Amino acid sequence: MLNPAYALVAALIWAFSPVYYRGYLAKFDFLSFNLLRNSAAAAAIAVPALYLWSSAGLTFALGSGVITLACGDSLFLLSIRETGASVAAPVVYTYVLMIQFVGITLGQVVPYANFVAAAMVVAGVYVLSKGGDGKPRARGIAFAVSAGVIWTVGQEFIQASTNAGGGVVPIVFTRDLAAALALGTVFLLTKRYRKWPRGIGTKTYVIILGIVISDLVAGSLLFVSSIAAIGVALTVILTSLSPLLTQVFAKALGKESPTSRDFLGGVLIVSALVLAVAL
């Protein structure tokens, strides 16, 4: 029996965490913050990963970590900094539709419904780009679309890793570690450590680490578990609810003020994603 609980809880976690990231990105350089995220996540899951260690499928997990978490997430954080989570999240999730169209290059037949979904996505992104807050959004949306393109490539590596017999915990640990090492290398080479924010108290770091671990550890474990249990298609449908939930959380928590136009754009994109994957 298919159990959607893993994917639904992951969607809730991933809807909540970006809402708080924008505030921290006002203090941290985006790459430094992403390094903090992935390093903390790798450290948090290291012991159970080593206990359950298996090398099966980890080559794909390494690729997913560098591509999706190091490169894609860095662009996503840039988008959040520029436009806010309530705009960045719906746009970046267009990667779900992009994955469907990648099938064309692999000789797969793309359903006509996907072309309708593509038109809905374009309309949704356009609506978000014309938000009613009067602030320019082209730069932030460009970052989000770029992140979506990179996620399109990286997410396929997760399915390949689980198909190769990789365990959920080792896969998640390997992805986080690969991203942390890649980001750490850039961090040192570009001397970003000189810009590390000062005066941030222990309480703030504890809150950041709590959000990060729920995002990159709990959310990733649930996502990979869901792919292994019910497959990519249904998992993606369910987790695609998160960008719309991000808008709701941002509004309810008073962190951002998405307009009715923003909600319309989010609804168009989420509806398109569900249409593309469900049919």
pLDDT tens-digit profile, the chain (279 residues): 456 788 889 989 999 899 999 889 988 999 999 999 999 999 999 999 999 998 888 899 999 999 999 999 999 999 999 988 988 998 888 887 787 776 666 565 667 777 787 788 888 887 887 765 556 688 889 999 999 999 888 877 887 888 888 888 999 899 999 999 999 999 999 999 888 988 888 899 999 999 999 998 898 889 888 877 877 767 877 888 888 889 999 989 888 888 888 888 888 888 887 777 666
Exposed/middle/buried for 160, CB within 10 Å: 0-12, 13-18, 19+? middle
Model's pTM, two decimal places?
0.88
- Domain of residue 49 covers 5-278
Distance (Å, rounded) from C-alpha 233 to C-alpha 248? 24
Cα–Cα distances in angstroms (integers) from residue 20 to residues 14, 112, 263, 265, in the given order: 11, 38, 19, 21
Please answer whether residues 14 and 90 qualify as being in contact, where contact means their C-beta atoms are separated by less than 8 angstroms: no
Task: Please state the length of the chain.
Answer: 279
Specify the DSSP element, H or E, that contains 168. helix 168-189
The three-class DSSP label of residue 238 is helix
Distance (Å, rounded) from C-alpha 241 to C-alpha 159? 20
Query: What is the model's pLDDT at position 179?
Result: 96
Best CA proximity match to 34, nearest among 85, 77, 66, 92: 77
Distance (Å, rounded) from C-alpha 180 to C-alpha 38? 5
**How far apart are the two ends of the chain, measured CA to CA in Å?**
20
Q: How many separate domains does the chain show?
A: 1
Query: What is the model's pLDDT at position 1?
Result: 43
**Torsions phi, psi for 68 (to 5 deg):** -80, -50
Distance (Å, rounded) from C-alpha 189 to C-alpha 274? 42
